[in-house]
Chains A and B, each alone.
Chain A
Amino acid sequence: MALKIVKGSIDRMFDKNLQDLVRGIRNHKEDEAKYISTCIDEIKQELKQDNIAVKANAVCKLTYLQMLGYDVSWAAFNIVEVMSSSKFTYKRIGYLAASQCFHEGTDVIMLTTNQIRKDLSSPNQYDTGVALTGLSCFVTPDLARDLANDIMTLMSHTKPYIRKKAVLIMYKVFLKYPESLRPAFPRLKEKLEDPDPGVQSAAVNVICELARRNPKNYLSLAPLFFKLMTSSTNNWVLIKIIKLFGALTPLEPRLGKKLIEPLTNLIHSTSAMSLLYECVNTVIAVLISLSSGMPNHSASIQLCVQKLRILIEDSDQNLKYLGLLAMSKILKTHPKSVQSHKDLILQCLDDKDESIRLRALDLLYGMVSKKNLMEIVKKLMLHVDKAEGTTYRDELLTKIIDICSQSNYQYITNFEWYISILVELTRLEGTRHGHLIASQMLDVAIRVKAIRGFAVAQMATLLDNAHLLTGNTQRNGICEVLYAAAWICGEFSEHLEDPMQTLEAMLRPKVATLPGHIQAVYVQNAAKLFATVLRKHEGDTDSQAAQETSQLLIDRLPLFVQSANLEVQERASCILQLVKYIQKLQQKNVEVAEEVTALFAGELNPVAPKAQKKVPIPDGLDLDAWINEPPSESESEDEKPKAVFAKEEPKHSRSRHPEVDEKELARRREARKQEQANNPFYIKASPSSQKVYDAPGVEHIPVVQIDLSVPLKVPGPESEEDITPAHQVDIVTEEMPENALPSDDDDKDPNDPHKALDIDLDKPLADSEKLPVRTHRPEVLKSPAEDRDNESVPQETKKKSGKEKKEKKKDKEKDRKRSKEDKKKKKKHKEVEEELPESQPEEAVQSEETKEAAAPPTSTSAEEVTAPSSAAAVDTSSAAAPESEPDEPKDAEPEDTDFRFGNVK
């Protein structure tokens, strides 16, 4: 009694310490790190003490500190010490700390094997429980191998509390030690029909996880799961099973057909939203996988869509969100049935919740058709005006562009409308997506010939009002559209009504505040406009006006010649000199317009991505023949470009020009890049087409001397470059290297832990596959099969000796314990007695406590009554396991009932 009081006060004292720590951290906000380092010093002192209560409290504090993000791995050994305390409260603290702090790299884990085994076989179900819970957090491959058999035995424990935990832990064990799957699987399967719903649910969980990864091995369980699905009333379990069926149906279409009915029944009947949601999701998945095999599934789809509509209409934001999420899955295969709910989706755009609005946007992307595109975009434009956050507004902007440009502008019937939309979007201030709008403008203007007149007029207005766009800063992303506007006006200047006005707009002093790359385009295109204007004036024989134009350029260009941007400077100087020369000619009354126009003659057409490949090889040119002597084998610096190029066209890669040295190559590459950068067309073309020219190997090919800026006319049916005069777009498809293999294996990952679990479970179990079983003496560790033991035994004994070495480091008490453990089974009772004198006083109290706790066995359930006999049954069934040796200590049984109240409650 006195002991107890002492113990109580000690406990309280430490409690206070613990609270002090927490309070102290709060009170030392400024120098928290310093405060904690003193605390850690204290804790280190406490850990050095022999008193297990002090240690446990120290470990408890460490767990708290670890949660705050402090590294406490140095205390791992002390945690192990606390774990091995015989008192449950301390053991629990130790295991909690271990589960929070240990990971696969923690080396002391290997010291815990025996301790954990002991706890697993403890007669106290909570010892076992806590060990299992801990294991789930820090099981390593070694632990998994050594303990697999113990845990498997626990799967048949009398207490459902243990069974369900053991079943779930097995999943972790399978992951870490895949060899255990086959021997353990029959028992796991049994657990699907366990009388206890908790165990059943655990088994369902594990098998679902295994099966989702490697479904084909689990198809044979489908009937069993089917039975469970129709009989179970536990929604959590049902959700799991339904998920599992979702994974199985792609492999077994017949299953899908069978499933639809019970699932639709559930959809009709259930009141649990989570279950309803799962069913709908699975029905969708099943229908997707069966889409061809099931003729009349429209009813099911209709049902799903209806239910989802109810979810979306619900005032609960969560349901609304999930409804939209599921709807987007249906959309992929059955767009028609979703499209009828367009009104509802559009409503969601007004929602207060941004995530819901974004979901709705996603849906809209898939819902547009030629008919409704304009209406939807109109609605979105309204939202763009209303949107407050720039993030959401930018999202809307990209969505509008995505929606309009999807599938090569498939849904756009009126490109004038689209250009107006793009122009309207330029009114957005502070958007990051100016370049996106710009590239769309360029793309449309280049590829839809019929629209050019309209586009040019719009762009001219944009240039005229450029001051509205640029606003104050250069950071304003929207000024990117001026790049497009200037280029379009310059390139298609013949469509301009008043080129002179545009030319003036482009040479305003304000332009000098624009980013360099835009100024460069301005200067270049001013020259194009100049040519147009000259021609116009000379056509009118108005030489006065023509000369005035030249003078305008001569006046304005010096501003750009001074530019800090090299590109702008260079272009401006060239053009300035050109104009000065022209002016001279003009003063001599020479007609120059034609020659100036000739500078920009020719049309820039879109180039198909595959164009380069289709360049016909001239007659008599053998690309595989060496032009000079082959280079020596050792030459390897070109290896990389060669490899990159080989992917696309291995045939050409061998014909590298051996005499072109690296420097020359680099220079040429630079020159080419420069050229591409200067040419707005190449920059703004679709990235895939650019890829062809960027491929570093191109320069190696002698044939490639072809000037790529010359429009390519590609023969054959693939020549989609010529634009039909209607509002049509060239169809440029994504390019794939010809020798690219279908990438089926892309989703298979060599590091995927589940891959190892792809095991045929129907094969009969060979002896060699039996789980390693621990026996008294390691050298007797013989499972019947030799082939496996040959390799595993030496390993194992080595490990054991390694362990022994490590354990020598432990203090004396540990050593004694271990030596006892070897003979522990028979002497367990005695051991407890032996331990008492040297253990702490509280522990004595503790054992007393357990006796007290054992006293009131209140009521008995049927299960408890049968417990001893079924335990015996387990023993015989797994006689191989030493843990269940018949000479189990007799005191185990009364203790086993100690915690009966736990189950009854």
Chain B
Amino acid sequence: MAPERLLWISCQRTDLPAAISPIPGSVAPLFLITMIKFLLMVNKQGQTRLSKYYEQVELGKRTALEADVVRGCLARRKEECSFVEYKDYKLVYRQYAALFIVVGITENENELSIFELVHNFVEVLDKYFSRVSELDVSLSKNTHYTNKVHIILDEMILNGHIVETNKNRILAPLLALDKMTES
């Protein structure tokens, strides 16, 4: 699918994956619900390193959605803005070395706050893994990293809402877990 497909607003709604489409027959809720729909970590080759959905998406549709989303974000140049209108919602993405973090949000979520959240998230990862620039490689090699990133993510976002932004409090459960496994 060409990148131009992604960009447009007036894009046909017919092939929307069920879960990201509006609740059947509705128009209003889309404007009223504020939430994060999903978070993806993908590398430059478009391989998903981590995916987290806060709204049920059918398995089969996930891969298609991810491919679509990733292609749209990868196609953008550095000097272009980090927000992409994609079908009924918005994508906020940031690139860290070879790793892209893409967040799908509803129309009325504050883009900038999510943009900052992504950075906060990466800072937390950086603090914990200390070499976040190689995170892509680490994620691809060791699924334990994936699990830990999941733990961090779960501390930060719950239910599609931001729940914690304080780095120390985010890492506390993970450190506790580490202590448990070490001893």
A interface residues, Cβ below 8 angstroms from B: 15, 18-19, 21-23, 26, 60-61, 64, 66-69, 71, 88-89, 92-93, 96, 99-100, 103-104, 126, 129, 132-133, 136-137, 161, 164-165, 168-169, 171-172, 198, 201-202, 205, 208-209, 212-213, 235-236, 239, 243, 247, 273-274, 277-278, 317-322, 352-356, 358, 389, 391, 746-754, 849-850, 852-853, 899, 901-903, 905
Q: Which single residue of chain A is at the shortest CB-CB distance from B49? A: A67
- How many whole Å from B61's CB to the nearest CB in chain A? 10
Q: Which residues of A contact B173 (CB under 8 A)?
A: 126, 129, 161, 902
- How many whole Å from B177's CB to the nearest CB in chain A? 7
Q: Which single residue of chain B is at the shortest CB-CB distance from A215? A: B32
Q: Does A168 contact B141, Cβ atoms closer than 8 Å?
A: no
Task: Name the one of B81, B140, B143, B163 contacting A164, with C-beta atoms under 8 angstroms.
Answer: B163
Task: Name the one of B143, B161, B168, B183 contacting A64, with C-beta atoms under 8 angstroms.
Answer: B143
Q: A92-B177, A243-B34, A355-B7 are in contact. Are A318 and B168 (CB under 8 A)?
A: no
Give 16 A-B pairs besides A201-B162, A355-B83 with Cβ atoms closer than 8 angstroms.
Answer: A67-B50, A67-B146, A92-B151, A133-B154, A137-B54, A205-B163, A212-B32, A236-B162, A274-B112, A318-B83, A318-B111, A352-B80, A355-B81, A751-B25, A752-B28, A901-B176
Task: Name the one of A69, A88, A213, A277 contacting B110, with C-beta atoms under 8 angstroms.
Answer: A277
B116 at the interface (CB under 8 A from A): yes
Q: Which residues of A contact B172 (CB under 8 A)?
A: 161, 902-903, 905
Question: What is the bound-complex CA distance between A168 and B154, given in angstroms?
Answer: 12
Show 24 residue pairs from A and B whose CB-CB distance is below 8 angstroms, ordered by the A residue: A22-B143, A67-B48, A69-B63, A96-B150, A126-B177, A171-B161, A201-B163, A205-B163, A209-B34, A243-B108, A274-B115, A278-B113, A317-B82, A318-B81, A318-B82, A353-B79, A353-B80, A355-B85, A356-B81, A747-B26, A749-B28, A751-B24, A853-B176, A901-B175
Q: Which single residue of chain B is at the shortest CB-CB distance from A167? A: B163
Q: Does A754 contact B29, Cβ atoms closer than 8 Å?
A: yes
Q: Which of B142-183 contact A (CB under 8 A)?
A: 142-144, 146-147, 150-151, 154, 158-159, 161-166, 168-169, 171-173, 175-177, 179-181, 183
Question: What is the bound-complex CA distance between A236 and B169, given in angstroms?
Answer: 16
Q: Does A133 contact B158, Cβ atoms closer than 8 Å?
A: yes
Task: Name the one of B50, B163, B177 contacting A88, with C-beta atoms under 8 angstroms.
Answer: B177
Q: Which residues of B contact A93 (CB under 8 A)?
A: 147
B15 at the interface (CB under 8 A from A): no
B51 at the interface (CB under 8 A from A): yes
Task: Name the one of A274, A389, A749, A902 contacting B116, with C-beta atoms under 8 angstroms.
Answer: A274
Question: What is the bound-complex CA distance between A322 and B115, given in angstroms?
Answer: 12
Q: Does B165 contact A236, Cβ atoms closer than 8 Å?
A: yes
Question: What is the bound-complex CA distance between A903 and B172, given in angstroms?
Answer: 7
Question: What is the bound-complex CA distance between A353 and B78, given in angstroms?
Answer: 9
Question: What is the bound-complex CA distance between A318 and B90, given in angstroms?
Answer: 13
Question: What is the bound-complex CA distance between A849 and B85, given in angstroms?
Answer: 50
Question: What is the bound-complex CA distance between A205 and B85, given in angstroms?
Answer: 24
Q: Does A172 contact B159, Cβ atoms closer than 8 Å?
A: yes
Q: Which residues of B contact A71 (CB under 8 A)?
A: 59
Q: Does B112 contact A277, Cβ atoms closer than 8 Å?
A: yes
Q: A22-B141, A168-B161, A236-B113 are in contact. Are A89 and B28 (CB under 8 A)?
A: no
Q: Which of B107-131 contact A (CB under 8 A)?
A: 108, 110-113, 115-116
- How many whole Å from A83's CB to the nearest CB in chain B? 15
- How many whole Å from A140's CB to the nearest CB in chain B? 11
Q: Which single residue of chain B is at the shortest CB-CB distance from A72? A: B59
Q: Does A15 contact B80, Cβ atoms closer than 8 Å?
A: no
Q: A67-B48, A318-B112, A355-B7 are in contact. Are A136 and B159 (CB under 8 A)?
A: yes
Q: Does B175 contact A322, Cβ atoms closer than 8 Å?
A: no
Q: Which single residue of chain B is at the shortest CB-CB distance from A899? A: B176
Q: Which residues of B contact A129 (CB under 8 A)?
A: 173
Question: What is the bound-complex CA distance between A621 and B175, given in angstroms?
Answer: 89
Q: Does A751 contact B23, Cβ atoms closer than 8 Å?
A: yes
Q: Does B147 contact A60, Cβ atoms closer than 8 Å?
A: yes
Q: Does B80 contact A198, Cβ atoms closer than 8 Å?
A: no
Q: Does B169 contact A198, Cβ atoms closer than 8 Å?
A: yes
Q: Does A752 contact B83, Cβ atoms closer than 8 Å?
A: no
Q: Which residues of B contact A208 (CB under 8 A)?
A: 34
A-B contact count (CB 8 A): 199
- How many whole Å from B73's CB to the nearest CB in chain A? 12
B33 at the interface (CB under 8 A from A): yes
Question: What is the bound-complex CA distance between A18 and B145, given in angstroms?
Answer: 12
Q: Does B77 contact A352, Cβ atoms closer than 8 Å?
A: yes
Please classify how large the interface on chain B is, using the bins under 10, 10 to 19, 20 to 34, 35 or more.
35 or more
Q: Which residues of A contact B62 (CB under 8 A)?
A: 69
Q: Which residues of B contact A322 (CB under 8 A)?
A: 83, 111-112
Q: Which residues of A contact B24 (CB under 8 A)?
A: 749, 751
- How many whole Å from B11's CB to the nearest CB in chain A? 12
Q: Does B26 contact A318, Cβ atoms closer than 8 Å?
A: no
Question: What is the bound-complex CA distance between A356 and B60, given in angstroms?
Answer: 33
Q: Which residues of A contact B50 (CB under 8 A)?
A: 67
Q: Does B183 contact A852, Cβ atoms closer than 8 Å?
A: yes
Q: Does A320 contact B59, Cβ atoms closer than 8 Å?
A: no
Q: A19-B141, A318-B83 are in contact. Are A164 and B56 (CB under 8 A)?
A: no
Q: Does A169 contact B158, Cβ atoms closer than 8 Å?
A: yes
Q: Which residues of A contact B165 (CB under 8 A)?
A: 236
- How many whole Å from A75's CB to the nearest CB in chain B? 13
Q: Which residues of B contact A747 (CB under 8 A)?
A: 26-28
Q: Does B81 contact A320, Cβ atoms closer than 8 Å?
A: yes
Q: Which residues of A contact B69 (CB under 8 A)?
A: none
- How many whole Å from A399's CB to the nearest CB in chain B? 12
Q: Does A749 contact B176, Cβ atoms closer than 8 Å?
A: no
Q: Which single residue of chain B is at the shortest CB-CB distance from A846? A: B180
B84 at the interface (CB under 8 A from A): yes
Question: What is the bound-complex CA distance between A129 and B154, given in angstroms?
Answer: 10
- How many whole Å from A881's CB to the nearest CB in chain B? 23
Q: Does A165 contact B108, Cβ atoms closer than 8 Å?
A: no
**Which has the most chain B C-beta neighbours within 10 Å: A93, A99, A354?**
A354
- How many whole Å from A148's CB to the nearest CB in chain B? 15
- How many whole Å from B131's CB to the nearest CB in chain A? 18
- How many whole Å from B158's CB to the nearest CB in chain A? 5
Q: Which residues of B contact A100 (CB under 8 A)?
A: 52
Q: Does A902 contact B176, Cβ atoms closer than 8 Å?
A: yes
Question: What is the bound-complex CA distance between A750 and B146, given in angstroms?
Answer: 39
Q: Which single residue of chain B is at the shortest CB-CB distance from A392? A: B4
Q: Does B159 contact A171, Cβ atoms closer than 8 Å?
A: yes
Q: Does B180 contact A749, Cβ atoms closer than 8 Å?
A: no
Question: What is the bound-complex CA distance between A893 and B79, given in angstroms?
Answer: 56
Q: Which single residue of chain B is at the shortest CB-CB distance from A353? A: B80
Q: Does B140 contact A22, Cβ atoms closer than 8 Å?
A: yes
Question: What is the bound-complex CA distance between A440 and B84, given in angstroms?
Answer: 32
Q: Which single residue of chain B is at the shortest CB-CB distance from A88? A: B180
Question: What is the bound-complex CA distance between A730 and B34, given in angstroms?
Answer: 44
Q: Which residues of B contact A749 (CB under 8 A)?
A: 23-29
Q: Which single residue of chain B is at the shortest CB-CB distance from A395? A: B8
Q: Which single residue of chain A is at the shortest CB-CB distance from B172? A: A902
Q: A64-B146, A318-B83 are in contact. Are A168 and B158 (CB under 8 A)?
A: yes
Q: Does B176 contact A126, Cβ atoms closer than 8 Å?
A: yes
Q: Which residues of B contact A748 (CB under 8 A)?
A: 28
Question: What is the bound-complex CA distance between A352 and B7, given in angstroms?
Answer: 15
- How many whole Å from B41's CB to the nearest CB in chain A? 10
- How many whole Å from B134's CB to the nearest CB in chain A? 16
Q: Which of B23-74 contact A (CB under 8 A)?
A: 23-29, 32-35, 48, 50-52, 54, 56, 59-60, 62-63
